[in-house]
Amino acid sequence: ILLKTTEPTCLLFSVCRPCLTLSSPLSCGDHGQEWRGGQKTSPLRISSPQVPAIFFSGFWQSTLVLNCPSVNIVCVCVCDILTVLLYACAFLFLAASYTDSSDDETSPRDKQQKNSKGNGDFCIKNIKQADFGRREIEIAEQEMPALMALRKRAQGEKPLAGAKVVGCTHITAQTAVLMETLSALGAQCRWAACNIYSTQNEVAAALAEGGFSVFAWKGESEDDFWWCIDRCVNVEGWQPNMILDDGGDLTHWIYKKYPNMFKKIKGIVEESVTGVHRLYQLSKAGKLCVPAMNVNDSVTKQKFDNLYCCRESILDGLKRTTDVMFGGKQVVVCGYGEVGKGCCAALKAMGSIVYVTEIDPICALQACMDGFRLVKLNEVIRQVDIVITCTGNKNVVVREYLDRMKNGCIVCNMGHSNTEIDVASLRTPELTWERVRSQVDHVIWPDGKRIVLLAEGRLLNLSCSTVPTFVLSITATTQALALIELYNAPEGRYKQDVYLLPKKMDEYVASLHLPTFDAHLTELSDEQAKYLGLNKNGPFKPNYYR
């Protein structure tokens, strides 16, 4: 530190809360702090994963402009270096006990928190992060035009007035826009997370501050996960009449613990492969007692979210966690559905050598005609650098394959469920687990070989990075319309079965997003419409089209 000890010196201490969440220290400049004005000195940074970033600087006749609202400042006037050190030690002591951090080990279940209105019906990491979350939600709103248009068009009619929606999805800024849209349309909402790693704590705080009953935080245990779902469902004086699920865990929990609730539930909206598979199993067994809408197989979900979202987010997730170079790497992608297609296209474009495994001959033929080599996993497992699962199945990568992988092989999952990689088989005494950074583990064999396991086999993109907001706008709008359709459908329209979203709604969702691209649809003439046997205004595809 450069200090003038012959004249009074201003010693600045600042704490930047976002730095608390990082495993390596950053200067506050990374969060928007600027220095302007007269003479200044280079700041000294003292930081660790558990201690706030601390900046000291002597300055004279200079102006400090803080654009970072997360910074707490303590400014004192000192005259000599001894006083500087005393203040530094005192502040380090305070910093060490500072707990306003996502690294705080105290479980949210053990905290009593209230928002600014005195409401405490939520359980999140830290309500004080609400301002950050609100800004993230505002950014997401700019990239979710259809959902905002739906909110504007329908909030006067309140099509969800009286709806009590219990949800279990990823709690991100994009989901927050959906929840606030449902609320604007008249619904009451209670929400839990469908993944223990995907919750954005600051967004959960913003929702709680806004009056939503949210029970989620990043890094939940398995016990926390089910506890949060139960808190959403089991509440005195409030019973859901609609379910919005992602993966089927919420639906499963209600069937298991509170089956009588289905007497008042009008329908289920499910958006994942895993959850839809569970619903079809219930329907086949005659145990599905309410109508369910299969959003996952809607055209807007399949062709946009599953494909384009994963095409961008697979690279983001791998880069953020491993800093891997893709050019020349050998990668095997298990499954060539829409998620697999997106992953393969992105990796191929980056120069990777991509292999595909597939059970479906139609998808397998698509992979071959797209230029990928179709293999069995055991044929390439010894040579590949990266293994990616996206099948929605279980035990795709078992211990036998994990044992045969090369040293340094990266293993991750892009499917919803954590069943695709047999992570449980790696928790044995002879193997050593070594945490590298958040969501990145080395699993080390006795001979020194190690693999890099990401997110403990859970969904990579939402656990380790983020996803494109615009694509999620398409899915979220589809979910909102599905809820409106099921909630307002006259009795008898939908039986106790699983349904696809009507194509007219799929097309409506797509049309709401076209103005973003300044796109202009061609209209059929009366003669053309008659020739094709279509209504000029659609739908243009049959209900069986996917």
Q: Which residues are annotated as a binding site?
A: 172, 246, 271, 301, 305, 337-342, 358, 461
First and final CA of the chain: distance in angstroms?
Answer: 64
> What does the block give as tokens for 314?
């697979």
- Would you list which residues are annotated within the binding site for NAD(+)? 337-342, 358, 461
The secondary element (H helix, E strand) that includes residue 251 is helix 249-257
What CA–CA distances, in Å, run from 272 to 39, 42, 276, 296, 302?
A: 57, 51, 6, 5, 10
Contact between 113 and 120 (Cβ < 8 Å): yes
Known binding-site residues for substrate equal 172, 246, 271, 301, 305
Query: Smallest Cα–Cα separation from 133: which of 216, 211, 206?
Result: 206
**In the 3-class helix/strand/coil scheme, how is 274-337 assigned residue by residue?**
HHHHHHHHHHHCCCCCCCEEECCCCHHHHHHHHHHHHHHHHHHHHHHHHCCCCCCCEEEEECCC
Q: Which two tokens stand for residue 211?
A: 């009056």
Closest among 409, 406, 411, 519 to 460, alpha carbons compared = 411
Q: Nearest-5° angle of CA 339, CA 344, CA 345? A: 100
Pairing verdict, β 9-16 and 410-413: unpaired
How many beta carbons lie within 10 A of that of residue 492, not counting itself? Answer: 6
In 296-366 the beta strands, taken as DSSP E runs, fall at: 330-334, 353-357
Residues 268 and 294: their CA atoms lie apart, in Å, by: 9
Residue type, 221: S
Residue 87 CA to its chain's centroid (Å): 41
